[in-house]
């Protein structure tokens, strides 16, 4: 006889990929590496989410080049499939942030959630008014409370812009100099950062969490290598 009641109630956790697919991402196979790295991370992300009794993980993706558009709507982790993206056009980051700010309020966000995770991946220089878009995003309560992570793909990315997106002096953008580093960072955000929002993990004594919104563990030790392929 099955015991009564149901699954423990979880909070919605939105995980959003914000992906640069401007023309420059075509160089040196960057866009292929990115597509590959996200595909590699999905099973780990699903396993992490399956063991997480605090969070109901919903993954979505937004791409920007000339203009911005949603490519994957919020999808349960177990049903999530990546759609390979192609590189072409400008770097309209501002438009992407405006699109993002439109969904980061209630509704469509839930009344009872966990801080969303926003992951920005870019290799270049915004070509539109990204500051206006960022301001709009940070005005939304869910945008402000979000865990914002940015990953620079290659040395040409504008680190200053990626830093402004994070808007946290304690943390810096992650610089992926080669495909292996990109893959490591993508796996890290999709597993460690995902669970940091729900905080189901052991906390270490040396954590400085005072004042911050969410504890974010250290990223995997940065891999620096002279044999950069990009």
Partner 1 sequence: MEMTKTNGFTIGETLYIEQLSMICNIEREMGSGTQGKVYSLICPDNSTLVLKWYFPSMATKEQREIINYLIQTKPPSDRFLWPIALVESPKREGFGYVMPLKENRFKSFSSWLSRKVDPSFRILLTACFELAQNFHLMHSKGLCYQDLSLNNIYFDPHNGEIRIGDTDNIVINGSGKGNVLGTPKFMAPEIIVGKESPNTQTDLYSLAVLLFYILFLNHPLEGKAESSIRSLDIPSMTKLYGFNPVFIFDPEDDSNFPDPIYHRNALIYWNIYPEFFKKQFIKSFTKGINDPLEGRVRETEWQIALLELRDSIFYCKLCGSENFLDPYLVGALSLGNVDAYSNKSQNEMKSAVLCELNRSVKNHIPTCWNHNCKTANHKVMYIQLNGRSIVTLNHDTQLFLHHVDPSCKYNFSYIIAEVNRHPRNDQVWGLKNLSDFNWNVTKPNSDSIKVLPKQSVLIAPNTTIDFGKSIGTIYYLDEMITYAYN
- Residue number with CB closer to partner 1 (159 or 223): 223
Q: How far is the CB of 161 from partner 1 (least distance, A)?
A: 25
168 binds partner 1 (CB under 8 A): no
User: Could you give the CA distance from residue 168 to residue 154 in angstroms, rounded to a whole number?
Assistant: 22
- Per CB under 8 A, 217 contacts partner 1: yes
Q: Which is nearer to partner 1, 32 or 191 (CB)?
A: 191
Residues 6+ apart with CB under 8 A from 175: 151, 152, 155, 157, 159, 181, 222
Does residue 169 touch partner 1 according to CB under 8 A? Answer: no
Asked if 209 is part of the footprint of partner 1 (rule: CB under 8 A), the reply reads yes
- Binding residue for partner 1 (CB under 8 A) from 29, 172, 180, 219? 180
CA nearest neighbour of 23 among 74, 69, 64, 65: 65
Tell me if 139 contacts partner 1 by CB under 8 A: no
Q: Give Cα separations from 166 to 50, 74, 212 (angstroms).
A: 28, 22, 13
Which H/E stretch holds residue 195? helix 194-198
Q: Which parts of 62-81 interact with partner 1 (CB under 8 A)?
A: none
Q: What's the rounded Cα separation, in Å, for the pair 20 and 64?
A: 5
| Residue from 64, 142, 165, 185 in contact with partner 1 (CB under 8 A) | 142
Q: Which is nearer to partner 1, 1 or 160 (CB)?
A: 1
**Residue 5 touching partner 1 (CB under 8 A):** yes
Check: CB of residue 216 under 8 Å from CB of residue 193. Answer: yes
Place of tokens 């049903």: 79
DSSP secondary structure, 113-135, as one string:
B---EEEEEE-S---S-HHHHHH
Whichever of 85 and 149 has its CB closer to partner 1, that residue is 149
Residues 181-200 that bind partner 1 (CB under 8 A): 191, 199-200
- List of residues contacting partner 1 (CB under 8 A): 1-9, 11, 50-54, 106, 111-115, 141-142, 145, 180, 191, 199-207, 209, 212-215, 217-218, 221, 223-227
């Amino acid at each position: 006889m099955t015991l009564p009641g149901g699954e423990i109630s979880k909070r919605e956790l939105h995980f959003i990929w914000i992906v640069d697919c401007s023309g420059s991402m075509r160089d040196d196979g960057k866009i292929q590496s990115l597509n590959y790295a996200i595909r590699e991370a999905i099973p780990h992300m699903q396993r992490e989410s399956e063991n997480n009794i605090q969070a109901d993980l919903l993954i979505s993706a937004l791409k920007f080049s000339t203009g911005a558009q949603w490519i994957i709507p919020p999808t349960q982790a177990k049903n999530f499939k990546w759609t390979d993206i192609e590189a072409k056009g400008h770097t309209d980051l501002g438009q992407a942030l405006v699109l993002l700010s439109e969904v980061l309020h209630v509704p469509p966000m839930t009344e009872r959630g966990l801080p969303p995770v926003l992951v920005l991946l870019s290799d270049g220089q915004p070509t539109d008014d990204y500051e206006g878009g960022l301001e709009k995003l940070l005005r939304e309560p869910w945008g402000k409370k979000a865990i914002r992570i940015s990953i620079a793909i290659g040395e040409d990315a504008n680190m200053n812009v990626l830093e402004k997106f994070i808007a946290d002096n304690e943390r810096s953008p992650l610089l992926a100099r080669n495909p292996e580093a990109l893959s490591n960072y993508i796996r890290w955000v999709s597993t460690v950062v995902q669970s940091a929002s729900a905080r189901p993990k052991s906390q270490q004594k040396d954590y400085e969490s005072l004042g911050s919104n969410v504890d974010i563990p250290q990223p995997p030790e940065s891999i620096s290598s002279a044999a950069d392929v990009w």
